[in-house]
Amino acid sequence: MNFIKVNYKDPHRERTRILLKNHPEVKELFGPTLISLPIGALIVTLHTLIAWHVRDQSIWLSLILALCLGAFFQHTLFVLIHECAHDLVFKKKIHNRLFSIFINLVGFVPSAIAFREYHLLHHRFQGDLNWDADLPGTKEAKTVGNSWWKKALWLANFSIIEGVFRPIRLNKVPLFTSWGIFNLFTTLGFNILIVYFGGWNSLLYLAVSLYFSIGLHPLGGRWIQEHFVFHPNQETYSYYGPLNILSLNVGYHNEHHDLMYVPWINLPKIKKAAPEIYDSLRSHSSLTALVWKFIFDPKLSLYNRVIRDGGPASGTKTTATVDKENLTELGPLQFQDTQSS
């Protein structure tokens, strides 16, 4: 088994050109939206109150609440951290960083700032094994193979794999920064407060909520949905289903990659504005069915990912920032026709 090696560039950039040329009105969708602020604050509050409530309850109640409720809270907060990574909550970067760290207080693991760096590199170097943290490494893919139980175990522990093992592989990316250290101490400090006021049961609720929010859970299907190849000539897929309501439209992944300066609340408007593009692309309608198919279909494995060369030249900055007024100035690219797939 091998990854799907291609010699064409990231197709999203060409779709960006097409969108801006044929639908210039989509630029009106750009920019931050403050509606994310009260949503994030409300979920952090509710998540904390539930953690406090289970302090003297049975461990089983903590686990059930984490699976059925906490995982959804944590996943939505993760989506808001993603919004902050693109500076789509506030106009200033510093405010987005601070808000992402605030959201990450109940996240158990300090990840907001590290996610920002790795995620922006994913957008800039999609498919490059040396720079794209969303890609499984060669050893990772070989170890898991197409074994159903290994795939289930991989998805169940995805938070550990993405948070520990992949940063080791991407050793060119600086992991410890002043912002990252601040994120580390604030989240760990909040964990200490949770234990002090609520006990270990409260911290267990937060930890298990994180575990299920990006693991073996319908929500975990998102990691399969976004970039695992299910059809020829298409490497990114959107999900159009009911979980988008709870997950702030994060399923609109093609739309997000094509216009990353559009906040979550406006992503469906991109699809509506350009049906000639998005109606011709394959998509998913059920994350639960997707998780089942990925685990039990022997034809699917971690090798079902597109890889390409194209990392930064020596001395090139790796910070993935692009002037949103000049989204098309990204170099020559090739557009792949997916209508026949």
Distance of alpha carbon 312 from alpha carbon 141, whole angstroms = 24
315, pLDDT greater than 60: no
| pLDDT at position 337 over 80 | no
Residues 86 and 105 sit within 8 Å (Cβ to Cβ)? no
Distance CA 240, CA 51 (A): 31
Residue 318: pLDDT above 70?
Answer: no
Model confidence at 322: pLDDT above 80: no
Asked whether the predicted pLDDT for residue 49 surpasses 80, the reply is: yes
What's the average model confidence in pLDDT over 297-324?
Answer: 69
| pLDDT tens sequence across 258-272 | 999 999 999 999 999
Q: What is the pLDDT of residues 153-207, one digit of tens each?
A: 999 999 999 988 898 888 888 878 999 999 999 999 999 999 999 999 999 999 9
What is the pLDDT, as a whole number, of residue 152? 97
CA distance 331 to 22: 19
Sign of the CA dihedral 327, 328, 334, 339?
positive
Express as a percent the part of the chain with pLDDT over 90. Answer: 84
Over residues 244-248, the mean pLDDT reads 96
> Is residue 288 predicted with pLDDT exceeding 70?
yes
Burial class (CB in 10 A: 0-12, 13-18, 19+), 193: middle
pLDDT of residue 163: 86
The answer to whether residue 126 scores a pLDDT higher than 70 is yes
* 331: Cβ contacts below 8 Å, ≥ 6 apart: 9, 13
pLDDT confidence tier of residue 312, bands split at 50, 70 and 90: low
Residue 135's pLDDT is 96
Q: What is the pTM assigned to this prediction?
A: 0.90
51-96 per-position pLDDT tens digit:
999 999 999 999 999 999 999 999 999 999 999 999 999 999 999 9
The per-residue pLDDT for 57 is 94
pLDDT, position 309 = 85
Q: If you average pLDDT over residues 26-49, what whole number do you get?
A: 98
Residue 209 has pLDDT above 50, yes or no: yes
SS3 string, the chain, reads CCCEECCCCCHHHHHHHHHHHHCHHHHHHCCCCCCHHHHHHHHHHHHHHHHHHHHHCCHHHHHHHHHHHHHHHHHHHHHHHHHHHCCCCCCCHHHHHHHHHHHHHHHCCCCHHHHHHHHHHHHHCCCCCCCCCCCCCHHHHHHHCCCHHHHHHHHHCHHHHHHHHHHHHCCCCCCCCHHHHHHHHHHHHHHHHHHHHHCHHHHHHHHHHHHHHCCCCHHHHHHHHCCCCCCCCCCCCEECCCHHHHCCCCCCHHHHHHCCCCCHHHHHHHHHHCHHHHCCCCEECCHHHHHHHHHHCCCCCCCCCEECCCCCCCCCCCCCCCCHHHCCCCCCCCCCCCCCC
Q: What is the mean pLDDT of the chain?
A: 90
What pLDDT sits at residue 168?
Answer: 87
Give the model's pLDDT for residue 324. 44
What's the rounded mean pLDDT across residues 239-257? 97
pLDDT exceeds cutoff 80 at 336: no
Find the mean pLDDT for residues 237-264.
97
* pLDDT at position 311: 59
78 token code pair: 């993760």
* pLDDT single digits (tens) 164-178: 889 888 888 887 899
